[in-house]
Chain A
Amino acid sequence: MSETRAVPNAVERLVRQIVSQVRWRRAEHYALRGVFWGVLLAIVPLVVKGPFAAWAVPLAGGLVVAGVLGGLAYGLSRRVGAVDAARLADRAFGLSDRVTTALECGRRGDRGPMVEALIADAIERAESVQPRQIVRRVLPREAKLLPLPIVAAAVLVLAPPVPLPSARLFERMVSTAAEEEAQERGDTSMIEERARPIPRDPLRRPAFEERDFAARAATGAPSTAGDLSAIFKDTSLGSQRPDFNSFLKKGDERLKLLERMDRLPDLQTDFTTNQYKMVFRKSKELKGGLRPDQVSPQKLREILEEMERLGRKGGANWSGDAMEGMEALEYGEQDRAMSAMEKALNKMRAAQERARSGRNLRGGRDGKGGDRGQGGASPEDMDFGEGEGLFPGRGKSQSPKGEPSQRLRANPYDVGVEGESRRGKKQGYDTNLTGRGGKMDSRLQYLGVIGQYRKMMEDAIAREQVPRDYHTQIKDYFQALDER
């Protein structure tokens, strides 16, 4: 209690009392723990009474007493901080930290007048305090379990000694069990040897290429060794019962494959890289057994526009049919638009087939009733081979202007334009309409289509589909149309 020496009288006494209370509470606490462990240890000589003979019970009692005394000694010997004790006193007696502050400040050498006043106040308050137990009892966890070893010890005191198994008996038991096990192993070893799988390195993952996907593929395309696309063609799972683990495993392999971009099979080539097929497929979906009046005009227009674009892009000959279909749609003639689309589709299919099976082997497309070739087809549906048709100076015609196409002669609506430059004071270009259509009234509203044609002209020039030398003449022509 040297800490409280600077603060005499009642404060010191109060703090000492609290320190003492704390010590005794601690002693109780640790004595209880000591009892528990002492009784627990005492069970050992009580169980094994044989070697200890008459000394077993006194020895057990001694262990309990030792535990109690050890706990008491430990609890009493532990140091209690005076400040902690003072704080407990402040809280318990409602002293508002007077004792703690007085104790702390009292130790300092440079006490000010305020500290003196504080100490005086604290002493006065401490003297008025009625001493009582303020430190609460804290029971250890062992206290709750204490009855168990006590009861066990009491029973063991009264009970005869428990016979312990001898070491020889134990050895024999162990050897018998080992022998039985060895015998059993001998009976089954032959079977095990046959059934045992070939040892395999568990860390080694089978190489991807090693898997025989072709063997598992029921309907997939034959794959070569190292063909990574085989895993995507593996449809053998379709005939199996759902197996989530198998699915996960397979999915995992496919995900890994996706990381190797260079080896990925191009699964979309068939559809997306061929725009012609896309258009063909769309038009087929559009028709889908519907009557022409049930077809959506908007979708029909989209397909026709796409066909017209493809026709212009590839310089193919179905562009006109597509245009005709669009014009028909403008007038609400959906039947005619559908038939124009059909024609364009047929030409497109024919062109694709030509492209696949060789160049210009069979001009035209399938005729009516399965009759193929020019002879079976109507002049209206006739196609032109390379080097034939409307290109001046090319084809079979000996005329430098070229022969007007049979189509022009056959289609009552088509009109050819012939022209020759006029020299003189006012240079110009005189044109004459040829073909039967030239003698007929236009079926289209002039102002409705001129803008469309002008746009097509500008597109064609912009795409450099027209020779540069003709640009001026074409522009002059449209200029002349405007002036009229």
Chain B
Amino acid sequence: MSYDTRVQEFVTAFEGLRSEVEKVIVGHREIITHVLVGMFSGGHVLLEGVPGLGKTLLVKTLAEGLDLSFSRVQFTPDLMPADIIGTNIIVEDADGRKHFQFQQGPIFAHIVLADEINRATPKTQSALLEGMQEASVTVGGVSRALPGPFFVLATQNPIEMEGTYPLPEAQLDRFIFKLRVRFPAIEELNQIIERTTQPRQVAVTRVMTGPQVLAFRELIREVPIATTVRDLASTIVMATHPQWEHAPEVTRRFVRYGASPRGAQALVLGAKVRALIEGRFNVSADDLRALAAPALRHRIILNFEGEAEAVDADTLVGQIVDAAETVIVQGKEAFLR
């Protein structure tokens, strides 16, 4: 099969999956796209938004559209790590002998919905760390691989912060994207009312299987990237660090810590998926610009001044990207800029 065909197949599958999700979810096309981009990049996605915007429904619908196992964990303050990972329990066999048997937790699924992840204690939140990074969990000294593809979708509520445990930076860094689910427009709201208050239920068709997802992930990694574009990605990430010599003024003023190398990886991987969706065989600077905010907004830690002035992370990332492009062409001759 030629690569043209494979890419075309991916684009078709991607569009199909997005259409299935859009059967249920009204609006939020960009959010759906970014969730799928995150999934095909091999990362995990954090959805942030006020209650009732359809975050959980989006994930459930996505799981229905994929022929993959799905589990949902409602995070609460009394949730323990064993409740997620699983534990060894004593079982009795036919001969009456007792032995330990590992009882899998809900993490052993292809798609895991960690609902309201910031309501659980840091100890429980960190139970997801190994699974998200290594795609395996260790219980009783035994490492157990998680099924592939493994995809965690977490949701959190930015308001009602009382009794919550904000995700630590290490945990946040594990999410390839952080997506902000906005409130729907009035037309979208009307459509939501139409769809959800009628007796007819929308059936979601399974359009993709696990092996297909894994194959697409492999395909995505083959997308080439030019040195100049790669340089732009690394410059964007470097420009988030106030200590960098070429850091823009906005970074020096408002940022305490910049994005990690995982941020650059997320940016490039996401850009590769976007390139294929756009029907391209290469990553462009536009891809980086489009995915800079979801990939970096949760990786930039504002300083006191930034927090005091309520600096919007997305605006900040936009300014950093512009500054990075200026840095890239800074040394070049005027004709070549």
Contact = CB atoms under 8 A, between A and B. Distances in A.
Contact of A136 (B7, B222, B332, B335): B335
B225 A101 contact: yes
Contact of A114 (B224, B227, B332): B224
B226 A117 contact: no
B4 interface: yes
Interface stretch (B49-57, B184-192, B280-288): B280-288
Interface string A101-124: 110110000001111111001000
A88 B333 CA distance: 12
A96 interface: yes
B272 to A, nearest CB: 10
Interface string A127-142: 0000000011010000
B202 interface: no
Interface in B107-165: none
A116 B335 CA distance: 30
Given A22-B336, A121-B280, A97 B224 contact: no
Interface residues of B, number: 24
Interface string B213-224: 000000000111
B334 interface: yes
A101 B283 CA distance: 8
B224 A113 contact: no
Given A104-B226, A104-B227, A113-B3, A98 B282 contact: yes
Contact of A98 (B222, B227, B280): B280
A97 B285 contact: yes
A97 B229 contact: yes
A135 B333 CA distance: 12
Nearest to B332: A84
Contact of B226 (A101, A112, A121): A101
A80 B332 CA distance: 11
Given A100-B229, A121-B280, A114 B222 contact: yes
Interface residues of A, number: 31
A100 to B, nearest CB: 4
Contacts of A100: 226, 228-229
B336 A97 contact: no
Contacts of A135: 335
Interface in B166-225: 222-225
A97 B283 contact: yes
Interface string B84-100: 00000000000000000
A97 B335 CA distance: 18
B330 interface: no
A84 B335 CA distance: 10
B336 A84 contact: yes
Contacts of B278: 96
Contacts of B281: 98, 101, 114-115, 117-118, 121
B228 A96 contact: no
A158 B28 CA distance: 77
A121 B283 CA distance: 13
A112 B334 CA distance: 35
Interface of A: 22, 25-26, 29, 80-81, 83-85, 87-88, 90, 96-98, 100-102, 104-105, 112-118, 121, 135-136, 138
Given A22-B335, A135-B335, 7 more contacts: A81-B336, A96-B282, A98-B281, A100-B229, A101-B282, A104-B227, A115-B224
